[in-house]
A and B are shown apart, each in its own frame.
Chain A
Amino acid sequence: MASTLIIKDLHVEIEGKEILKGVNLELDSGKIHVIMGPNGTGKSTLASAIMGHPKFDITKGEVLLNGENVLEMEVDERAQAGLFLAMQYPSEITGVTNADFLRSAINSRREEGQEISLMKFIKELDKNMEFLEMDLNMAQRYLNEGFSGGEKKRNEILQLMMIKPDFGILDEIDSGLDIDALKVVSKGINQMRGEDFGCLIITHYQRLLNYITPDAVHVMMQGRVVKSGGPELAHRLEAEGYDWIKQELGIEDETVGQEA
């Protein structure tokens, strides 16, 4: 089923300071969008605000998932409606195994009585963990507890593949990864690619795009999307950096004054 995620004039504050100053963006399922930009321009804030991070206050704007404003929903309702956020710093939760957590997450999107069978769940979990070259024992470890940075990122992609959301927002999924882990994470994202899945990847490294070809590339500065284009935009950023955009738009300081 084709879905749309439309971000309209989104303004977001943290502790009274405005970070996002009117973000506009339209995403369709079946496409991979990438948001690039230097540090401190509001990229991660956008990702967190869409999902409903408790620290951020939305002061204006809408985020419409298939026409419904998700900003009026609780965080779990947003997930049930089809959103997924792969976090930059996933929480560690003692005492809750990865497998139990994943099953709860999958079942939360299903009607009572329609829960995934244990056999089917285990089969799918094993298959995806093998695909992501993860140690199968990690299923029985506590959620993210003691995981290395790379393991946490793989685990986020594992959740993405198990939960199969309509839209995946991946916040710096490539940061802190060595080249092998980066390839595995990219493989997972490419596997998800398809008509029913839309993706918003937030990164400040072009290197991820050596493995994932985006359909659209956007640049954020000063809390807004200031430029959009196709894959060629990413290549130009890789070659020339961001200064040409700043000159083009007459921007001196691209940040919003705070890395969030």
Chain B
Amino acid sequence: MTTQIKLPVDQQTVEAFSQRNGEPNWLSSLRLDALAKAVDLPLPKPDKTKIAKWNFTQFANHTVDSTAYGSLEELPESIKSLIDVEKQGNLYIQRNNTPALLTLSEDLKAQGVIFTDILTAAKEHPELVEKYFMTDAVKVDEHKLTALHAALVNGGAFLYVPKNVEIAEPIQAVYVHDHPGAALFNHVLVVADDNSSVTYVESYLATDDVKESVVNIVSEVIAKQNARVVYGAVDNLSAGTTTYVNRRGIAGRDSRIDWALGMMNDGDTISENTTKLIGDNSFGDTKMVVVGRGNQKQNFTTNITHWGKNSEGYILKHGVMKDAASSIFNGIGKIEHGATKANAEQESRVLMLSEKARGDANPILLIDEDDVTAGHAASVGRVDPMQLFYLMSRGISQHEAERLVIHGFLAPVVSKLPIEGVRRQLSEVIERKVQ
């Protein structure tokens, strides 16, 4: 694409922002370099969705200042319901672009665990952040939106788990989008060193005040040798928000990355979730649920690529489409030459609740090695009338029967979310959206 899009921020703005944060030189220059690239690079090309006219780049403010929360007690109810207020959790809350609350147990600190907002991390732990920030998993120059992200990152979290540290309790992050003019360029970086284990769960929440906005999220997960990362997310951004979200993991030898993603945005969304199974015996599992409603257009591309021998990749996506919502579900299982005994499995199911809704499931297997196993299943359909007949024949109303079938359809993913509050949040969002 050669169309020049004028960005609402220039070099001076970015420089000034970086300076105000006291960022190290490597990050300032990375930003400026990325900004220059963002001008010319083309938009990404999600298969089967045309996004040339979507607004990913025009926003009112790069950053806004929001009031931080002084303590857990001060949190609004919408956030309180997500967390266990009684327990001193490991929690990061961000309000628009402002780090608003952070708690990390002394025990984890003593073990060398780092959990803080991304810009503080860049200053305090430059050796780690510089090494992993958009170098391995997601590259700055992939397309316009990754470059723009690198140039403008203004929020997010950094989580580092040192070698041999196994964290039993989930680490939680809540990103609140409640300022009508805030653009969110959120970067989450999770590094799990050798033999470590961690569960990270994030929720994106928005209030109705956010009419038109841009959100650009990049999450990078680095699971080193024999590490285990469980990454849960519930995205629930507003109808006026155009979202680009890219969650990508790199799995080293004997490591495992599990994703449980509840994609509940009300606005147009491009989502990419990729797991790179680099190491032998590595394991990747993506479970995703989607509910589309209104006129929103969405594209969910899930990719697991195998380089490691004996690597295993599983994709399970369930989507419910109502009203005039339309969604593309691309699933890609790719096995590179040399990844012998790899196994790539994927399943996509789409349930349509109205005549005008559109859903498209595209399973793709790309295999460049003989000694492998792979499989895919995909279906797009309506609620099975026999299921409704069965439930109704027991006295359950049609509305309730449909509700049960829809919840049941989404349950395999919902039940996988590791924090009860977040699981409940997802159930409630689903309930509200399918009504």
User: In this assembly, does A167 line the interface, its C-beta being within 8 Å of a C-beta of chain B?
Assistant: no
Q: What separation, in Å, do the CA atoms of A206 and B394 have in the docked complex?
A: 28
Query: Which candidate, B113-121, B127-135, B137-145, B383-391, is the interface stretch facing chain A?
Result: B383-391
Tell me whether A93 and B405 are in contact (CB under 8 A): yes
User: In this assembly, does B22 line the interface, its C-beta being within 8 Å of a C-beta of chain A?
Assistant: no
User: Which chain A residues border B407 with CB–CB below 8 Å?
Assistant: 95-96
User: In this assembly, does B65 line the interface, its C-beta being within 8 Å of a C-beta of chain A?
Assistant: no
Q: What separation, in Å, do the CA atoms of A167 and B367 have in the docked complex?
A: 57
Please, which residue of chain B has its CB at the minimum distance from the CB of A104? B396
Tell me whether B394 and A91 are in contact (CB under 8 A): no
| A79-B390 CB under 8 A given contacts A91-B384, A95-B407, A96-B404 | no
| Main DSSP-derived SS at the B contact region | helix
User: In this assembly, does B410 line the interface, its C-beta being within 8 Å of a C-beta of chain A?
Assistant: yes
User: In this assembly, does B397 line the interface, its C-beta being within 8 Å of a C-beta of chain A?
Assistant: yes
A29 to chain B, nearest CB (A): 18
B349 to chain A, nearest CB (A): 10
Tell me whether A94 and B411 are in contact (CB under 8 A): yes
User: In this assembly, does B17 line the interface, its C-beta being within 8 Å of a C-beta of chain A?
Assistant: no
User: In this assembly, does B70 line the interface, its C-beta being within 8 Å of a C-beta of chain A?
Assistant: no
User: In this assembly, does A250 line the interface, its C-beta being within 8 Å of a C-beta of chain B?
Assistant: no
Q: What separation, in Å, do the CA atoms of A85 and B390 have in the docked complex?
A: 9
Residues 85 to 137 of chain A near chain B (Cβ within 8 Å)? 85, 87, 90-91, 93-96, 101, 104-105, 108-109
User: Which chain A residues border B412 with CB–CB below 8 Å?
Assistant: 94-95
| A93-B387 CB under 8 A given contacts A75-B393, A104-B396, A163-B394 | yes
User: In this assembly, does B400 line the interface, its C-beta being within 8 Å of a C-beta of chain A?
Assistant: yes
Q: What separation, in Å, do the CA atoms of A80 and B400 have in the docked complex?
A: 14
Residues 367 to 414 of chain B near chain A (Cβ within 8 Å)? 384-387, 389-398, 400-401, 404-405, 407-412
Please, which residue of chain A has its CB at the minimum distance from the CB of B387? A91
User: Which chain B residues border A142 with CB–CB below 8 Å?
Assistant: 408
User: Which chain A residues border B394 with CB–CB below 8 Å?
Assistant: 79, 84, 101, 104-105, 108, 159, 163
Max count, chain A CB within 10 A of own CB: residue among B393, B408, B409: B393
User: Which chain B residues border A159 with CB–CB below 8 Å?
Assistant: 394
Q: Which of these, A75, A90, A163, contacts B392 with CB under 8 Å?
A: A75
Tell me whether B398 and A76 are in contact (CB under 8 A): yes
| A74-B392 CB under 8 A given contacts A94-B411, A95-B410 | yes
| A54-B404 CB under 8 A given contacts A79-B392, A101-B394 | no
Tell me whether A108 and B396 are in contact (CB under 8 A): yes
A45 to chain B, nearest CB (A): 14
Q: What separation, in Å, do the CA atoms of A90 and B404 have in the docked complex?
A: 16
Q: A198-237: contact bitstring with B at CB < 8 Å (1 yes, 0 no)? A: 0000000000000000000000000000000000000000
Q: What separation, in Å, do the CA atoms of A96 and B404 have in the docked complex?
A: 7
User: In this assembly, does A53 line the interface, its C-beta being within 8 Å of a C-beta of chain B?
Assistant: yes
Residues 21 to 58 of chain A near chain B (Cβ within 8 Å)? 51-54
9 contacts between A and B (CB under 8 A): A52-B389, A74-B392, A76-B401, A84-B393, A87-B390, A91-B389, A93-B387, A104-B404, A105-B396
- 10 cross-chain pairs, A with B, having the tightest CB-CB distances, nearest first: A95-B408, A95-B411, A108-B395, A79-B395, A105-B394, A75-B392, A91-B390, A76-B392, A96-B408, A91-B387
